[in-house]
Amino acid sequence: MTAALVAGLVAGYGIAVPVGAVATYLVSLTARTSLRTGVCAALGVATADGLYALLAAVGGAAVAAALRPVLTPLRWASALVLLALAARGAATAIRLHRAHRPTARSAPPPPSPARAYLSLLGITLLNPTTMVYFAALVLGTGAADSERPLEQGVFVTAAFAASASWQVFLAGGGALLGRVLTGRRGRLVTALVSSGVMTVLAGRMVR
Percentage of residues in the chain having pLDDT higher than 90: 10
Indicate the average pLDDT of the chain: 74
Cα torsion 197, 194, 88, 96: sign: negative
- pLDDT of 105 reads 47
Burial of 145 (0-12, 13-18, 19+ CB in 10 A): middle
d(CA 159, CA 163): 6
Confidence of residue 117 (pLDDT cuts 50, 70, 90): very high
Of 3-7, 93-97, 120-124, 202-206, the range with the lowest mean pLDDT is 202-206
pLDDT at 1 over 60: yes
Q: Is pLDDT above 50 for 144?
A: no
Kindly tell me if the per-residue pLDDT of 142 is higher than 60. no
How far, in Å, CA of 44 to CA of 50, rounded?
Answer: 10
Distance CA 38, CA 28 (A): 9
Residue 115: pLDDT band by 50, 70, 90 thresholds?
very high
Q: State the residue range of the domain holding 75.
A: 2-205
The pLDDT of residue 134 is above 90: no
Quote the pLDDT of residue 101: 55
Most trustworthy range by pLDDT among 7-16, 39-48, 137-146, 194-203: 39-48
Please give the residue that has the higher pLDDT: either 204 or 123. 123
Q: What is the pLDDT, as a whole number, of residue 160? A: 92
Asked which of 62-71, 77-86, 121-130, 169-178 is least confident by mean pLDDT, the reply is 62-71
How many domains does the chain divide into?
1
Alpha carbon distance 108, 56 (integer Å): 34
Give 20-79 pLDDT, tens digit per residue.
667 777 877 777 778 888 899 999 999 998 888 887 777 655 555 565 676 677 667 767
Instruction: Give 118's pLDDT tier (boundaries 50, 70, 90).
Output: very high
Mean pLDDT of 102-124: 74
pTM, two decimal places: 0.65
Question: Please, what's the largest Cα pairwise distance for the chain?
Answer: 54
